[in-house]
Amino acid sequence: MNFDPRFSGRKFASVGTRPIRPDGVDKVTGRARYGADFNMAGQLVGRVLRSPHAHAKIRKIDTSKAEALAGVKAVITAADLPDLTDGDAAMYDILDNCLARTKALYDGHAVAAVAAVDAHTARQALKLIEVDYEVLPHVTDVDEAMAHHAPLINDTVFTEGLEEKPVKPSNVTKRSQFGHGDVHQGFGHADFIVERSFKTEQTHQGYIEPHACVASVSSDGTAELWVCTQGHFVYRQHCAQLLGMEASKLRVTSSEIGGGFGGKTHVWAEPVALALSRKAGRPVKLVMTRDEVFRASGPTSATSIDVKIGARKDGTITAAEATLRYSSGPYAGAWAEVGAMTAFACYKLDNVKTVGYEVLVNRPKTAAYRAPSAPMAAFAVESAVDELAKELGIDPVEFRIRNAAQEGTQSSYGPVYGPIGIGPTLEAAKNHAHMKAPLKKNQGRGMACGFWFNFGGQTCTDLNIGMDGSVSLAVGTVDVGGSRASLSLVAAEELGIDYSQVKAIVADTSSLGYNDMTDGSRGTFSSSMATISAARNAIKTLRERAAQMWDISVDDVAWEQGHAVAKGEKHGNLGKLSLKEIAAQSGKTGGPIAGHSELVADGAGVSFATHICDVEVDPETGATRVIRYTVVQDAGKAVHPTYVEGQYQGGAAQGIGWALNEEYIYGKDGRLQNAGFLDYRIPVCSDLPMIDTQILEIPNPNHPYGVRGVGETSIVPPLAAIANAVSNAAGVRMTHIPMSPPRILAAIEAEREG
Amino acid sequence: MVEVTLWGALAATAGGQSKVEVEAKDIRELFRKLAEQYPGLEPWIDRGIAVAIDGTIYRDTWSKELPQGAEIFLLPRLAGG
């Protein structure tokens, strides 16, 4: 790769405008094809049998009766997916999660699957599979799982990261620690100290589209997979490895995606569908029900967090400390580690220490959820920061501004910051009209900050110029939030043509080089870099072709505003050549004109946001209504401002649901009691106010246009902003998320009773 | 010679040192030399480590140069959503 990613400070013609997205009409008219909208001739219906137990040894599975049922074409168990992971522990966990091997580790864990001619037969077949379980003691609570008497979920797990190697197995898979300075000394210099414990319950991303795929394995060993995913190249890798296939023989096509938010970043049922198809010799369609999505795909961690922050009377924080315990389901994770890294990232701290514990529980395998782990840490820290500001008698925004990290600050997770946007988002919030609006009885205002890292990664893009001068852009990052529009704008910007001349698609895995998935807010950041590079390569060819058409040296040809321009006095009589004119002659000047790019988009800039929230709490019922909400966030450069605003609003909306209502509720039997949208309440339109947004643009020095990722940071502050608002409205500090009506009512009553 | 700061869990595999000195010109050489000097680090490197150079986090660019005097931190390679 010979590409200079540095920010150039150029003026834009297309970038920053708001054209209609290319996938918009199909989506609003129902033509867009999602995971479950694909069908193949002769396809079978796949169904999965799931454990009713939270923790049980699988003694035996008898599939003979199911196999004998007319219409059943294949029945599989873990024996049909042998372990090919070659010591890769993370892949082994994914394999075991797809089909339990020796133990069912949570209510909903897949134990067998069938493919039949129709759904009725498939359901009947599931009932005929006999599983002999030995039920084991279970634990679903993160704190209880850390207790000495807790049932062990995996007796081969010994805690990593301890100074002394442990001699006994534990449900804690890892301890991690970050920070600098001396917190003990720092607290000694504090005039006020706030110390509190917080809990957040497990939530699901709540994507509207369930996991769905159609798998077709041919007798020659090649296969196709049509699937809703955030990363079809990653799904290809996972499936090929787990089924013992060569990656090139498995073609994966990503459908439109009805939400992922981190939950569609690794495989859940796709290897099962492929294994069924391989055994049956026919295509198999497998669509999860909503019940299955809740019970058996990956929600976020439940957490238990202790925070201690001290400050001098002048409002300077002297020390900050947090202990974070995050559940990871029954498999090892690094979720508390991320929480420990992000917890105090907004602040300039001389003395800071965070410790994270990864905890196994009998719940579904934890998956990423939009800025994974950061919202819970921010809830705990920003609640304590707010309380400390109150103790000090300093305005909460002013207190945060006084302690905000800035360029040159050593971050709480280690490195020194470059140019960052926490200060500007706080200043913008301070000056926002929302902060000055009057509040009525039972209403409260809260604000909070949030941080997220953002990633780049491997990216490959093709830009093809048709003979009519139109441009096809093939990208490999799944479009989860309007990236086909933003990437078309970038191609138009570089080539100097109109947005309407560019058509972007998400190419399948056989048509393009490997791409990392759309996670870490990397879609537009990474693929725009690759698009710029591909367009510049195409421009080089366009200049060469123009030179041929003019019969002059390519060194005398420049590219300006969509045209080849001959430079130098001797070429003064040559008119410009448009992209269209050059493309029309391409057959005679060397063939098709295209630009290709493969690169690693590294150097994604970190991102900050500040949110302001007003709520009204009914003291009789504990019900909360969000009445006003404002998001201020740094985008680096908003390529398509409407879709940046959409990301800001979407993160806030999900955060509102998480803060006020959403939670996994388990019975004493370890079974999930609310696996459906009737009992697991995500916000609907009538629950939400118009969410105002303010985009700040502090350029990322490591992107030609200054772009930063924007997709995740917006979900980091809401839990805390809403908790601060509810605490102010109800007159009692809320420490447990979600702040559902019963929980708020109990807190108000406890406060009354003293 | 560059000075590299290790995060907590990683320091334990380097004999408890949170800062180590390595003769390396780029990320590739840094990983190779670290694995040679501290064999306990190798599995971590194989699983994936990010390198922050003067505050910018690099996850995948082996060829990224390590300027003399630069602030270099090793960080866990994180998942995104």
Residue of A635, A634, A638, A629 lying closest to A611 (CA atoms): A629
What does the pLDDT average to over B71-77? 92
Q: How many domains does chain A have?
A: 1
Q: State the residue range of the domain holding A546.
A: 24-32+456-601
Asked if B56 reaches chain A (Cβ–Cβ under 8 Å), the answer is yes
Three-class secondary structure of residue A324 per DSSP: strand
CB-CB under 8 Å, A160 with B54: no
A vs B, Cβ pairs < 8 A, gives 106
Is residue A490 included in any domain, yes or no? yes
Q: State the residue range of the domain holding B61.
A: 2-76
Measure in Å the smallest separation between the Cα of B26 and chain A Cα atoms.
15
What does the pLDDT average to over B49-54? 92
Is residue A506 included in any domain, yes or no? yes
A63: which residues sit within 8 A by CB, 6+ positions away?
A75, A77, A112, A129
Angle at A269 between CA A259 and CA A106, to 5 degrees: 95
Q: E strands of A63-129, at which residues?
A: 72-76, 103-104, 110-116
B78, closest residue in chain A (CA to CA)? A338
Asked if A590 reaches chain B (Cβ–Cβ under 8 Å), the answer is no
CA–CA gap between residue A688 and residue A45 (Å, rounded): 38
CB-CB under 8 Å, B61 with A371: no
pLDDT of residue A419: 87
**Helical residues (DSSP H) of A559-609, grouped into ranges:** 579-584, 586-589
Q: How many domains does chain B have?
A: 1
Is residue A584 included in any domain, yes or no? yes
Is residue A310 included in any domain, yes or no? no
C-alpha distances out from residue A432 to A239, A313, A428, A632, Å: 49, 27, 6, 9
A167: which residues sit within 8 A by CB, 6+ positions away?
none
CATH number, position B48:
3.10.20.30
> Where on the phi/psi map is residue B21: left (φ > 0), alpha (ψ -120 to 50), or beta?
beta
Asked if pLDDT for residue B8 goes beyond 80, the answer is: no
CB-CB under 8 Å, B57 with A418: no
CA–CA gap between residue A707 and residue A647 (Å, rounded): 15
Q: Are A57 and A109 in contact (CB under 8 A)?
A: no
CB-CB under 8 Å, B57 with A603: yes
pLDDT of residue A402: 98
Per-residue b or e along A373-382, where b marks 16 or more CB atoms closer than 10 Å to that residue's CB: bbbbbbbbbb
Residue listed under structure tokens 């990216």: A459
Q: What are phi and psi of A543, to 5 degrees?
A: -65, -40
H or E element that contains B2: strand B2-5
Measure in Å the smallest separation between the Cα of B17 and chain A Cα atoms.
12
CA–CA gap between residue A550 and residue B36 (Å, rounded): 58
Asked if A371 reaches chain B (Cβ–Cβ under 8 Å), the answer is yes
Residue listed under structure tokens 């830009």: A463
CA–CA gap between residue A117 and residue B35 (Å, rounded): 54
CA–CA gap between residue B9 and residue A722 (Å, rounded): 34
Q: What are the CB-based long-range contacts (under 8 Å, 24+) for B43-51?
A: B44/B10, B44/B13, B47/B77, B48/B77, B49/B10, B49/B74, B49/B75, B49/B76, B49/B77, B50/B74, B50/B75, B50/B76, B50/B77, B50/B78, B51/B27, B51/B75
pLDDT of residue A1: 54
Q: Are A324 and A344 in contact (CB under 8 A)?
A: no
Residue listed under structure tokens 């809401």: A718
Is residue B60 included in any domain, yes or no? yes
Asked if B69 reaches chain A (Cβ–Cβ under 8 Å), the answer is no
Q: Which residue ranges in chain A fall short of pLDDT 50?
A: none
Q: Are A45 and A116 in contact (CB under 8 A)?
A: yes
Beta strand pairing call for A736-737 and A192-200 = parallel
CB-CB under 8 Å, A261 with B9: no
H helices then E strands: how many in chain B? Answer: 3, 5
Asked if A439 reaches chain B (Cβ–Cβ under 8 Å), the answer is no
Asked if A416 reaches chain B (Cβ–Cβ under 8 Å), the answer is yes
Residue of A98, A52, A82, A129 lying closest to A213 (CA atoms): A98
A457, closest residue in chain B (CA to CA)? B60
Question: A367 is written with which tokens?
Answer: 């998956």
Quick count: other Cβ atoms within 10 Å of Cβ B24?
19
CB-CB under 8 Å, B60 with A418: no
Is residue B59 included in any domain, yes or no? yes
For residue A605, the chain B residues in CB contact (below 8 A) are 56
**ipTM over the 0.95 cut-off:** no
H or E element that contains B3: strand B2-5
CA–CA gap between residue A602 and residue A715 (Å, rounded): 23
Is residue B81 included in any domain, yes or no? no
CB interface of B with A, residues 27-46, below 8 Å: none
CATH number, position A594:
3.30.365.10
Is residue A103 included in any domain, yes or no? no
Asked if A604 reaches chain B (Cβ–Cβ under 8 Å), the answer is yes
Residue A11, classified by CB atoms within 10 Å of its CB into exposed (0-12), middle (13-18) or buried (19+), is exposed
| Greater model confidence, B55 or A675 | A675
Quick count: other Cβ atoms within 10 Å of Cβ B37?
14
Is residue A233 included in any domain, yes or no? no
